[in-house]
Amino acid sequence: MPHQSACSFCNLDTSTVLTANDHAIAIPDGFPISLGHTLIIPRRHIVSFFDATREEQAALLDLLAEVRERLLNPPRPPFAKGGSLPLPDGFNIGINDGAAAGQTVMHLHIHLISRYAGDMPDPRGGVRLIFPDKAAYWEK
């Protein structure tokens, strides 16, 4: 990966990579908010989704779909006995693009956040919950 010396995503421990393609990698989120929370990161050091080439955007979305599929259909080891991880009931997909949007690592990354029935009392509004007073649009 071409890298910026101070960028944590350009200096990853490659043992954390879950899957990859020519333009992107997927790693578990270092501070997950749910079981399966994964980051999809371009190999090239770019800050914004809008700085990515169409080819890079396609590669990012390909990995996003691949990771989702893996979370929904995890490999089962031979002779597995119970105790399997729950399968997600849904997903949030997010990109914090710019400091005003909450981006703290200035290297583009897409969050794939697994959601589970009952993980919060009322998940309606989804990503709108970043502005809680505007999330419940159906009540207005």
In a domain, 63, yes or no: yes
**Domain ranges, residue 131:** 14-139
Q: How confident is the model at residue 83 (pLDDT cuts 50, 70, 90)?
A: low
Give the CATH number of the domain where residue 112 resides.
3.30.428.10
Catalytic residues: 109
Q: Which residue has the higher pLDDT, 131 or 121?
A: 121
Count of CA atoms in the C-beta half-sphere (13 A) of 9: 22
pLDDT of 110 higher than 80 = yes
In a domain, 3, yes or no: no
Phi, psi of 103 (to 5 degrees): -70, 125
> For the CA atoms of the chain, what is the radius of gyration?
17
pLDDT of 127 higher than 90 = no
pTM passes above 0.85: yes
Residues in Cβ contact with 122 at an 8 Å cutoff, skipping those fewer than 6 apart: none
